[in-house]
Amino acid sequence: MKKPQLIVFASGSKEGGGSGFENLVRATRSNPRVLNADIVAVVSNHENGGVRERADRLSIPFEHFPLPREAEDYKRIVEKYSNPWVALSGWLKLARGLDPKRTINVHPGPLPEFGGDGMYGHHVHEAVIAAFGNEEVKYSAVSMHFVTEKYDEGPMVFQFPVPIYAGDTAETLAARVNAAEHCWQPYIINLIVNEIISWTGVSGDPVIFPKKTIYPFRVGQ
């Protein structure tokens, strides 16, 4: 039986990044019970950055995605690979033109409180640490959601709490959140691309979850 096809969008940086993408690739190769899918390509806005280095080393086709990045440009890339599932893993641009029911994002903080335009990477961790200092929150989170054309507003699929400790900085919190992302992202993507969790893509329709909890995490709302 043919495995689901998956394309990963990962910005990375000119100097590095892309660890989430590599983690997904290694999950597909280590145990299909973790992520039963074939990653057919990775996309980055940096032509020769960290994501490209990892793609070459892992023998995954690489797509450079320069400006403009309009809806038609997103569609063109995805259609080149026969309309696969899409995982946004550290993709820092607004994704438009993608099928919302086949596109999933991982976000390094609690949603909706710490999402939206400009809330990515260290910006999220800094905001969460500030809220912790004001005694507004006790936890950060790894959040995963389907993707619509507004930042971080698609329906939630999964949220795993990450504790914040006295003395934490944005950097120490980021490391702990990143470790949790690497643990859970392959499992949740597996449930989606194998249609154990699904959504119609229509605003207001509920996400359909398994009747029984498969993993010991908070899933759904």
Q: Mind telling me the catalytic residues?
A: 107
With beta carbons less than 8 A apart as the criterion, state whether 188 and 145 touch: no
Tell me the sheet residues that pair with 38: 5
Question: Distances from the Cα of 135 to the Cαs of 129, 152, 205, in angstroms?
Answer: 10, 24, 35
Give the helix/strand (H/E) hosting 5. strand 5-9
Pairing of the two strands 156-163 and 85-88: unpaired
CA 44 to chain centre: 14
With beta carbons less than 8 A apart as the criterion, state whether 197 and 144 touch: no
CA-CA distance, 154 to 33, in Å (whole number)? 26
* C-alpha R_g of the chain: 17
In the DSSP assignment, the letter for residue 198 is B
With beta carbons less than 8 A apart as the criterion, state whether 215 and 185 touch: no
